[in-house]
Amino acid sequence: MTRQTAAQYRMRVWLLMAVYVALIFFVWPYAKTAASLPLRALFALLPTVPVIAVVAVMMRHVMRSDELEQRIHMLALGIATAIVCVGSLVGGFLAAAHVIVLGGDVLLWVFPLVCVTYGTSRWWLVRRYGGAGCE
Amino acid sequence: MNNRVRELREGKGWSQGELAERLDVSRQTVNAIETGKYDPSLPLAFKLAKLFRKPIEDLFDPGE
């Protein structure tokens, strides 16, 4: 990996997340009030565009990382996936048994939850391998 | 696995950052290799051996 790309990567992610927040605040509310169904679908799905772009930027970053960094990314992603999958399964079973009530919008929390658990796992793994911080 | 990377690097007067740059890896990776927390892949081990002009078995010892 070219070492100088870390700052560029961070800037791209922050920029795309800023676009995402702007869409959530200024566009997504119209998803509930727009007159036609296609327009509602368009407004509802528009915030996913910067998220998909973030995923693409992250994938490129991982591919350009060196072998230890890639190992850390993959382990962190594995831990995050396992935690979120088990959490979803527990929630799903409890909801199916009518123990708890979950609306469909709970799915909105899957991606942020993966990001948080991935970030935490990565921080822990970087420390475990003797690193000082996350890139 | 034990290795002599730190000893050889210091012998050349390089910092971990300098060695990382020569190998095109992060400083964290060099540190993890030196402290034995991470065993490099075969291509990276050969890159290290080539850089220090030593046979690979001079750098790495599988130990027990």
Considering only the beta carbons, identify the residue of A3, A65, A129 that sits closest to B32: A129
Considering only the beta carbons, identify the residue of B21, B24, B38 that sits closest to A68: B38
In tens, the pLDDT along A105-130 reads 898 889 899 999 999 999 999 999 98
Residues 45-64 of B with CB under 8 A from A: none
Query: One-letter amino acid identity for B11?
Result: G
In tens, the pLDDT along A26-80 reads 998 999 899 899 999 999 999 999 999 999 999 999 999 999 999 999 999 999 9
pTM over 0.90: no
Output DSSP code: residue B2.
E
Cβ–Cβ contact B29 with A under 8 A: yes
Cβ–Cβ contact B15 with A under 8 A: no
For residues A87 and A120, the answer to whether their CB atoms sit within 8 Å is: no
Domain segments of chain B as ranges: 2-54
Query: Percent of chain B beyond pLDDT 70?
Result: 98
Query: Which among B27, B25, B7 has a CA at the least distance from the CA of B17?
Result: B27
Q: In the CATH hierarchy, which top-level class contains the domain B2-54? A: mainly alpha
Q: Average pLDDT, stretch A95-103?
A: 94
Q: Would you tell me how many other CB atoms lie within 10 Å of the CB of residue A54?
A: 20
